[in-house]
Amino acid sequence: MATRGEHLVTADRRFATGDSLLGRLVAPAFARLVDQLDRRLLAGGIEGTLPDGSPRRVGFHAPGHVAVVRLHSWMALVRLATAGSVGWYKAWERGEWSSPDPVPLFALFMANATSLRGTARAKGPMRWMSALAHRLRDNAPGQARENIAAHYDLGNDFYREWLDPSMTYSSALFEGGDTLEAAQARKVEALLDRLDIGEGTRLLEIGCGWGSLAIAAARRGAIVTGLTLSTEQKHWAEAKIAEAGLADRIAIRLQDYRDVAERFDAIASVEMVEAVGQRWWPAYLDCLARNLVPGGRAALQYISIDHRLFADYSRSADFIQAYIFPGGCLLDEPSFAALAAARGLSWDDRHGFGLDYAETLKAWRVRYDAAVAAGRLDGFSERFHQLWRYYLMYCEGGFRGRGIDVAQVTLARV
């Protein structure tokens, strides 16, 4: 019987994972890749064990993240060298490498991404195949709803088990000993403060999720229009809005941002732009400029990748794009800010808090594991659970390695 989430765990049918007869034949020759890694890991290192059981220290030229890795098969390096992070995940799923804690390894790779260069990126035909598969899932108007459903329509019951009670699926903003729920509320309030939300403010939220920001804004007196392409999110948000007695102040629409042509005093968008895709950045920013009144402001929370890494990143598809967020693309902040400026939108008061996202992801993983152990996530295969754990660890490591960041920024229509 089919289980929920199978469309994600079988994504490798579309993407190159480095598996081939030739790859298996030449696998032992990839031992030299260990030497290459040793030279290019400039900070931190790997306490490794090779397939024959012999120990091998890799890197350690300067202080940094330290990972413990056991290679069970040289095929793991074949996949890494030919299919990048997609292949490295496939190798982990197949037991070709293991680690007591993969997070430091992902942090190590990210912290050394510039010196590693293309070591962990798909190459040649593998890169072209993955790039084509990713392009076929581009967030064009006819495809965007399917891509969103692939991730968010796994079920409200699924997300309820490991998100905080507000059902906020984006980075929290921690202070002191905050609980996850308190840190999520602080993040929402920080965004609303950027927009000076008050009585009668007409607010558009692009990508409203399960409604937590819309509810908080309405409690400040705003009149809110929320957009989503997820039927599951819309149902949940409307129920919560009715429960809060705010149905007269909030309207949730199943609508693409490209189809909105109205006027709002303010626009909020939390970690939505990563789902847009690079091709659609101009259309997204056109939406902000078109729908803001003169002098109006937009507050965005977004995930960006180091500008030095973006060219390589954008030429293929990584693990996240292949398995987790179809059609997605992290921001290249300088390029995106330039596109905003060309549309008369300023770029003000940027605040980055990437390590807060690392802590958010860690909290989600603890809650996820507890839900699985308690049997509260029935209907999903063990393979799916392993994929989801890997996703949370992979992202946490990326933020700890500082190659990706999350930030809030204010864009004013000048």
Can you name the residues that pair with 380 across neighbouring β-strands?
A: 4
State the DSSP string of 172-207.
Answer: ----TT--HHHHHHHHHHHHHHHTT--TT-EEEEES
Taking only Cα atoms into account, the Rg of the chain, rounded to an integer number of angstroms, comes to: 22
List C-alpha distances in Å: 241 to 15, 159, 237, 260.
40, 18, 6, 22
pLDDT of residue 73 exceeding 80 = yes
pLDDT at 288: 98
Rounded Cα gap, residues 324 and 315, in angstroms: 18
pLDDT at 82: 84
- Return the half-sphere exposure (C-beta side, CA atoms, 13 A cut-off) of residue 393: 19
Rounded Cα gap, residues 303 and 82, in angstroms: 27
pTM exceeds 0.85, yes or no: yes
pLDDT of residue 194 exceeding 90 = yes
List C-alpha distances in Å: 186 to 175, 203, 215, 327.
9, 19, 14, 30
pLDDT digits (tens, 9 = 90+) for 110-125: 999 999 976 665 454 4
DSSP 86: H
pLDDT of residue 237 exceeding 80 = yes
Rounded Cα gap, residues 387 and 279, in angstroms: 28
Q: How confident is the model at residue 286 (pLDDT cuts 50, 70, 90)?
A: very high
Beginning with the edge strand found earlier in the chain, give each strand of the sheet holding 264-270 in spatial order. Answer: 250-254, 223-228, 202-206, 264-270, 292-305, 404-412, 348-352
Cβ-proximal residues to 3 (8 Å cutoff; 6+ apart), any chain: 379, 380, 381, 384
Catalytic residue list: 395
Mark residue 126 as left, alpha or beta (left: phi above 0; alpha: psi -120 to 50; beta: remaining). Answer: alpha
